[in-house]
Chains A and B, each alone.
Chain A
């Protein structure tokens, strides 16, 4: 089965939030990089392309044939999507295990696991 793992950063410090990011020790920052590198190199993982932060997003909705364009992500900035990757796994348990390895999951964010239609 293929799963899309959607990374919601929440309050997770990232390089896009320099103030919080700088508060992490160098060791902690390296651990985050190493964790994402390990995930991207795991068999079954198709890494997502890096995303600009949610403030750079534009949300498009169509209502009564009219396109409504708003600045920012669809949900509140705090809950916005920060990244994604595709993981091919035997079952949901394996996908949950992978999701739990994403640093954001343990640093104030969450990972949503969404099965892909095949």
Chain B
């Protein structure tokens, strides 16, 4: 048994259950940590228990009871007073309520700052260590620890409930949860960090917990199809455009899993932003993409989100259908002057129209605005080709 993997898989579930029982984030987290530490020491020696999850929950709960007995001031504030101590064998899996959904909605509550939502979700549901989250977001361990402490304090002091929101609140709150997971995914997708796998794991858990929400499957489809291409996206530190990617590096199984998730989302009658983005991503991996349909999907997504960046993509799809002039007109109608992709796209369109001098000006402008080194090298290559 791979202990580390088991721990990461079980952490969120065990912690959620404990918060449900104890009604206190900190107490639950400390107790869970203690139980996992005991397991790490004992299981390799004595072999794992028959039901690891039940063992972890029971052990942690008993530790928490011990702690409350030692620290009477805690006692009044927890629901644990009536809870009897149990031995590990008495508890089986069926009596352990899965409260991960309550946990995720608490962590992604809009009364918390977005960066706190992200950090809390990774720490509690994702099972990442504080140091790992700090590294991913390029802040010191101390800063990240403070951020988590402050978030947990706000949950407690301001009375953020530990529950799944009622139906009238659910759509908004679900959007917030999906936004957090997608943000985590994108943090990993830049190639800088490795949070994409964690985001996909969180997405899978959400799909298990909310099987009837089309956007959950839509988001999963989007993440899987994007992630399947991660190895092909960079070559020697330079961004490789989709058309030029080495398709043998694509993870076919992951693409198929993404397609299946998209089918599920469509079957559930979804037409939300993640579903549309997933449909676009799936079309893009086809051998010869259906550009007219892509243009239409980008249009639908642009109407839904009002995003000029999506409009820019629609223009790029329009160019692929053969209407380069129309695409250029669409690009010039966008107010995105500070966005390097606008100038890079414009340069590409001008190049195709043999307006080389203007293309050069646009590449220069894109280079002024670009931040990532990989993108910069790509633009420099294009500019150099133009000069030839």
User: Chain A interface (Cβ within 8 Å of chain B)?
Assistant: 1, 3, 89-93, 95-96, 113, 115
Residues A91 and B157 in contact, CB atoms below 8 Å apart: no
Q: Which residues of A contact B160 (CB under 8 A)?
A: 91-93
The DSSP consensus for interface residues of chain B is loop
Residues of B within 8 A of A1 (CB): 159
Verify A93–B158 contact, CB threshold 8 A: no
Minimum Cβ distance to chain B for residue A38 (Å) = 18
Query: A92-B111, A93-B169, A96-B111 given as contacts; is B161 within 8 A of A115 (CB)?
Result: no
- The 24 sampled A-B contact pairs (Cβ below 8 Å) are A1-B159, A3-B159, A89-B159, A90-B159, A90-B161, A91-B159, A91-B160, A91-B161, A92-B109, A92-B111, A92-B158, A92-B159, A92-B160, A92-B161, A93-B160, A93-B161, A93-B165, A93-B169, A95-B159, A96-B111, A113-B158, A115-B157, A115-B158, A115-B159
The 3 closest A-B pairs by CB, nearest first: A91-B161, A1-B159, A91-B159
Complex Cα distance A113/B109, Å? 15
Q: How far is the CB of A78 from chain B (nearest CB, A)?
A: 24
Taking A92-B109, A96-B111, A113-B158 as known contacts, 15 extra A-B pairs with beta carbons closer than 8 A to each other, sorted by chain A number, are: A1-B159, A3-B159, A89-B159, A90-B159, A90-B161, A91-B159, A91-B161, A92-B111, A93-B160, A93-B165, A93-B169, A95-B159, A115-B157, A115-B158, A115-B159
Instruction: Give the CA-CA distance A91 to B23 in the complex, in Å.
Output: 13
- Please name all residues of chain A whose beta carbon is closer than 8 Å to the beta carbon of B111 when the two chains form the complex: 92, 96
Which residues of B are found within 8 Å of A95, using beta-carbon distances? 159
Measured in the bound complex, the distance between the Cα atoms of B159 and A81 in whole Å is: 23
- Interface size on B (CB < 8 Å)? 9
Kindly provide the distance from the CB of B116 to the nearest chain A CB, expressed in whole angstroms.
14
Enumerate chain B residues within 8 angstroms of A115, measured Cβ to Cβ.
157-159
Q: How far is the CA of A1 from the CA of B161 in the complex (A)?
A: 11
Interface centre among B111, B158, B165, B169 (most CB of A within 10 A): B158
A89 to B169 Cα, complex, angstroms = 17
Q: In the assembled complex, which residues on chain A have CB atoms less than 8 Å from the CB atom of B161?
A: 90-93
Q: Complex: how many Å from CA A91 to CA B314?
A: 44
Docked complex Cα distance between A95 and B161 (Å):
11
Contacts of A96 in B (CB 8 A): 111
CA distance A92 to B161 in the complex (A): 7
B109 CB contacts on chain A under 8 angstroms: 92
- A93 cross-chain contacts in B, Cβ below 8 A: 160-161, 165, 169
Closest to A2 in B: B159
Kindly report which residue of chain A lies nearest to residue B109, judged by CB atoms: A92
Query: Measured between C-beta atoms, what is the minimum distance from A110 to chain B in Å?
Result: 14
Instruction: Tell me the bound Cα distance from A91 to B158 in angstroms.
Output: 8
Contacts of A90 in B (CB 8 A): 159, 161
Give Cα A92 to B111, complex, Å: 9
Which residues of B have CB within 8 Å of A113? 158
Closest to A89 in B: B159
Q: Report the nearest A residue to B173, measured CB to CB.
A: A93
Residues in A whose Cβ lies below 8 Å from that of B159: 1, 3, 89-92, 95, 115
Residues 72-107 of B at the A interface (beta carbon under 8 Å): none
**A91, chain B: closest CB distance, angstroms:** 4
Query: What separation, in Å, do the CA atoms of A39 and B109 have in the docked complex?
Result: 25
Kindly list chain B residues whose C-beta atoms are within 8 Å of the C-beta of A89. 159
Question: Complex: how many Å from CA A109 to CA B308?
Answer: 29
Contact with A along B121-161 (1 / 0, CB 8 A): 00000000000000000000000000000000000011111
Name the distance in Å between B278's Cβ and chain A's nearest Cβ.
31
C-alpha spacing A96/B169, complex, angstroms: 11
- Min Cβ gap B19→A in Å is 15
**Closest beta carbon of chain B to A109's beta carbon, Å:** 19
The docked-state distance in angstroms from the alpha carbon of A96 to that of B160 is 10
Docked pose: A96 CA to B165 CA in angstroms: 13
